[in-house]
């Protein structure tokens, strides 16, 4: 979902929320992949600190007992609920969505999710059902006459209606779409592919990393911020907005246990010098079968990407040692908003890339 002025997508409720919120127009995920991005957001830690670039390790077992956003709220007396896809289900969240550390009750997953790979896509010619990766569906023709995101929405509403009103609440709601396999009501048909020559995420380009980010608080005046921010900034920002900043501090070094690596965005609303850092691993210089989703043991190269208000700068470095550079990219968003023209070798950007490299190296080595 993109909340952009030129978008053809109708998002009346989201646009209404944006008009009442602090709206960050340049927010970026830490990695364009489910589990690493979600764990970074929820712990306020970079993928390098969690040592998670795939789906196959749980930070509490593999690295350290880092706290999560809902865990802090739970420890302060909040009832914490997970509805839908908040953590990535599976090994990366201990097959429990980090329950009971993060949540007061067992996380909710839609019963109809079990049909995600079922033969529920009707062929327009034969009227037979198939197991297509992408298909618009008639909701009433589905096995339970519903879809996971509809069930997630309804359950979240039920939580708000039936919960114990004497305690404060932290409610995290995660919808599945857009995500393959795509089974969606026919009214919402439409999916775009192919930017930067790619067919999915798994990259360091804006189109894969950029996300909508809004904070609504009755004491904050609505404002649009164009400075780049990161999803790891959500942790400290929410903690500060809720008055819980004394519970946890900013990391001095990533090895500290009870801290976060992001930046509280409230004091930075007028700061135009903010930048974001994202990353993506590769197993080799040339494309191969596991290029998009290499396991930790196969990673040889890490692409670190810095985004300022004007530029995206990426260095592809040897994994762990960072002492060998395999490639560089520089995109100027004033002339190239879709990141199609790598200007790294152009002489006019000599001083720009030196400055950005220094910023990037300083950010990934602290």
Which residues, other chains included, contact 153 with Cβ-Cβ below 8 Å and sequence gap of 6+?
A: 173, 175
Distance in angstroms (rounded) separating the CA atoms of residues 208 and 198 = 10
User: What does the DSSP 8-state code read for residue 106?
Assistant: P
Is 88 among the residues known to form the active site? yes
186 C-beta neighbours (distance < 10 Å), count: 10
Instruction: Tell me whether residue 34 is one of the annotated catalytic residues.
Output: yes
String of DSSP letters for 241-285: HTT-GGG-EE-SSTT-SSEE-S--SSTTTT-TT--EEEEEEESSS
Q: Annotated catalytic residue: which of 23, 34, 176, 251?
A: 34
Which one of the listed residues 12, 23, 88, 121 is annotated catalytic? 88
d(CA 269, CA 213): 13
Residue 72 backbone phi and psi in degrees, to 5: -60, -45
Burial letters for 319-343: b for 16+ Cβ neighbours within 10 Å, e otherwise? beeeeeeeebbbbbbeeeeebeebb
Which of the residues are catalytic?
A: 34, 88
């Amino acid at each position: 979902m993109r909340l952009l002025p030129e978008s053809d997508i109708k998002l009346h409720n989201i646009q209404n929320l944006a008009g009442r919120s602090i709206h960050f127009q340049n927010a970026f995920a830490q990695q364009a992949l489910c589990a690493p991005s979600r764990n970074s957001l929820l712990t306020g830690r970079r993928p390098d600190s969690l040592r998670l670039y795939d789906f196959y390790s749980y930070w509490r077992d593999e690295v350290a007992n880092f706290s999560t956003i809902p865990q802090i709220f739970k420890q302060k007396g909040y009832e914490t609920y997970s509805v839908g896809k908040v953590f990535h289900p599976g090994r990366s969240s201990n097959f429990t969505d980090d329950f009971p550390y993060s949540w007061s009750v067992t996380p909710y997953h839609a019963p109809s999710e079990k049909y995600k790979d079922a033969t529920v896509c009707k062929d327009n010619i034969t009227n037979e059902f198939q197991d297509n990766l992408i298909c618009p569906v008639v909701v009433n023709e589905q096995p339970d006459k519903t879809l996971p995101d509809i069930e997630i929405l309804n359950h979240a509403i039920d939580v708000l209606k039936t919960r114990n009103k004497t305690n404060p609440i932290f409610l995290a709601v995660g919808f599945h779409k857009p995500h393959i396999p795509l089974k969606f009501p026919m009214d919402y048909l439409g999916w775009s592919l192919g930017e930067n020559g790619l067919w999915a995420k798994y990259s360091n380009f804006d189109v894969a990393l950029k996300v909508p980010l809004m904070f609504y608080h009755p004491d904050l005046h609505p404002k649009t911020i164009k400075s780049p921010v990161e999803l790891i900034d959500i942790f400290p920002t929410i903690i500060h907005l809720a008055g819980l900043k004394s519970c946890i501090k900013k990391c001095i070094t990533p090895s500290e246990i009870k801290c976060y690596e992001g930046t509280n965005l409230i004091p930075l609303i007028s700061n135009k010098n903010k930048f974001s850092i994202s990353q993506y691993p590769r197993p080799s210089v040339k494309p191969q079968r596991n290029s998009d989703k290499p396991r930790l043991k196969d990673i040889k190269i890490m692409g670190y990407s810095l985004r300022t208000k004007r530029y995206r700068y990426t260095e592809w470095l040897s994994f762990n040692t960072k002492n060998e550079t395999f490639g560089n990219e520089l995109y100027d968003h004033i002339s190239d908003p879709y990141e199609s023209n790598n200007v790294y070798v152009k002489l006019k950007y000599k001083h720009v890339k030196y400055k950005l490299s220094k910023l990037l190296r300083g950010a990934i080595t602290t």
